[in-house]
């Protein structure tokens, strides 16, 4: 049976503890203030949004009760430990009309 030297065991334990303290990060940080100060409903295009915020994290289609369809882009960023008060998460959802212009948006943040 091979015995692990105590100093090597200590290094492994410290490394595991540091990894456990790192928390998690999802998505990519984005500048909500840049978006809010520049966006104009009916004027701002998908290309404008992509220039300001980068590629969306997710895309989808929204179908209204009357059957009208719209494209939706989502941005999100979170970091910390799930369930802890110091964790931060924010989302931005942008809805585009048929002309690829911003129709509506909503955002939320735990900041």
4 located within any domain = no
Residue with tokens 């799930």: 82
Residue-wise over 28-48: b if at least 16 C-beta within 10 A, else e? Answer: eebebeebeeeeeeeebebeb
104 has pLDDT over 90: yes
Q: How many domains does the chain have?
A: 1
Is 5 part of any domain?
no
Mean pLDDT over residues 24-53, rounded?
88
Identify whether 77 is part of a domain: yes
Please report, for the domain that includes residue 96, its CATH number: 3.30.1450.10
CB-neighbour burial class of residue 5 (10 A; exposed 0-12, middle 13-18, buried 19+): exposed
- Domain boundaries, position 94: 24-109
Q: Is the residue at 93 inside a domain?
A: yes
Q: Check: pTM over 0.95? Answer yes or no.
A: no
pLDDT in tens, 12-24: 554 444 445 557 7
Summarize the confidence of residues 41-67 as an average pLDDT.
Answer: 93
């Amino acid at each position: 049976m091979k015995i692990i030297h105590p100093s090597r065991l200590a290094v492994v334990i410290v490394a595991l503890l540091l990894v456990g303290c790192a928390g998690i990060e999802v998505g990519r940080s984005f500048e909500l203030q840049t978006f809010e100060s520049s966006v104009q409903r009916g004027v701002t295009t998908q290309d404008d949004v992509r220039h300001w915020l980068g590629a969306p994290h997710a895309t989808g289609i929204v179908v209204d009760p009357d059957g009208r369809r719209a494209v939706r882009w989502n941005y999100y960023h979170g970091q910390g430990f799930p369930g802890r008060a110091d964790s931060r998460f924010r989302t931005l959802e942008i809805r585009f009309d048929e002309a690829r212009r911003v129709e509506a948006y909503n955002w939320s943040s735990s900041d």
